[in-house]
Amino acid sequence: MPELPEVEVTRLGIAPHLEGRVVEEVIVRNPRLRWPVDPLIQQLVGQTILSVTRRAKYLLVDTEAGVLILHLGMSGSLRVLDPVPEPGKHDHLDLVLDSGAVLRLNDPRRFGAAIWWQLPLDAQPLLNKLGPEPLTAAFNAEQLAAALKGKTSAIKTALMDNHVVVGVGNIYANEALFAAGIHPKRAAGNLSKARLAKLVEEVKAVLARAIQQGGTTLKDFTQADGKPGYFVQQLNVYGRGGQACVQCGAQLKEIKLGQRATVYCGHCQR
């Protein structure tokens, strides 16, 4: 599943081609995505795209008429195409731009979304209860300590809770906890302020490096230009269960936490 770095890399790839452009046509080939595509999405036609931003793992294509909220789901991707090839089986949505290029949503599993929203964003149920963005000053040790106070759940599970902080998915939670030396099963509410400060630092560092490397390609994800993400080459624990720890050489352990693969070093993480 594309996580925050992959979505941010996608935003960085498509925004220069969309911002300032007029939508000339909206082609919906299959409206049966995670939620049915609203026919009112046709109100995008004739609108100038003012900005392409991101909130958590949602991309926001803003116009005066409303906001197109896009989510990549499990296997979705967005590509700006020029010239424009014939659509394939899983090419469900096109935005045809006045430049002649097309923004195309491809989603084999159809768990993605294209939501047309015309009210203030703080009224959008998918967005209005989200925690802070991890790469901003709003995500800090004080905020994290307050969010985790009294929690007995595992820190890895808490770190992936979008009410605590958005966008820290499974891959990057594994990596940040390893870098911070924190055992993934440690009770979230029992960590000291100093350890939380270190965790915040490593979450920010891991996500920033992943964005710089174009995200992580494990199976489905490619960048907006079709290239893979190269952060997979820098993974220290995720996907490496049973292999040697890069720090101490001990065998990495793999367990399930919240039904998600969790890899850690029993020697380096406490």
Q: Is residue 171 part of a domain?
A: yes
Q: Provide the domain count of the chain.
A: 2
- Residue 221 pLDDT greater than 80, yes or no: no
3-state secondary structure of 228: coil
For 139, the 3-state DSSP assignment is: coil
Known binding residues: 90, 109, 151
Does residue 232 have a pLDDT over 80? Answer: no
Three-class secondary structure of residue 12 per DSSP: helix
Look at residue 136 and tell me if it is in a domain.
no
Contact between residue 6 and residue 216 where contact means Cβ atoms under 8 Å apart:
yes
Does residue 56 surpass a pLDDT of 90?
yes
Q: Is the dihedral of CA 213, 267, 160, 108 positive or negative?
A: positive
Structure confidence at residue 217 (pLDDT): 41
- Is 101 within 8 Å of 17 (Cβ atoms)? yes
Instruction: Tell me how far apart the alpha carbons of residues 183 and 181 are, in angstroms, rounded to a whole number.
Output: 7
Is pLDDT larger for residue 219 or for residue 57?
57
Residue 208: which of 4, 32, 2 has the closest Cα?
4
The amino acid sitting at 172 is: Y
Q: Could you tell me the CATH number of the domain that includes residue 176? A: 1.10.8.50
pLDDT level of residue 219 (50, 70, 90 thresholds): very low
Report pLDDT digits (tens) over 160-181.
999 999 999 999 999 999 999 9
Q: Choose among 121, 131, 208: nearest CA to 162.
A: 131
Q: Is 116 found in the same domain as 16?
A: yes
Mean predicted confidence (pLDDT) in 252-259: 95
Asked if residue 202 lies in contact with residue 181, where contact means CB atoms within 8 angstroms, the answer is no
Residue 179 covered by a domain: yes
Packed helices 193-212 and 141-148: angle between N→C axes, nearest 10 degrees: 110
110 shares its domain with 155: no
Tokens of 104: 């195309």
Known binding-site positions for DNA: 90, 109, 151
Residue 134 lies in a domain: no
CB atoms within 10 A of CB 17: 20
Pairwise CA distance, residues 97 & 227, whole Å: 23
Average pLDDT, integer, range 78-87:
95
Contact 246, 240 (CB under 8 A): no
Are 213 and 172 within 8 A, CB to CB?
no
Domain holding 105, by residue range, is 4-123
Q: Is residue 132 part of a domain?
A: no
Record the tokens describing residue 59, joined without a space: 């991309």
Strands 51-55 and 253-257 come out as unpaired
Instruction: Provide the whole-model pTM.
Output: 0.89
Q: Give, in order, the Cα–Cα distances in Å from 219 to each of 34, 44, 144, 193, 236.
A: 20, 32, 32, 37, 18
Which position has the token pair 């000291």? 192
- The single-letter DSSP state of residue 240 is -
Q: Of 77, 95, 123, which marks where a domain is finished?
A: 123
Residues assigned a catalytic role: 2-3, 57, 260
- Same domain as 200, residue 147: yes
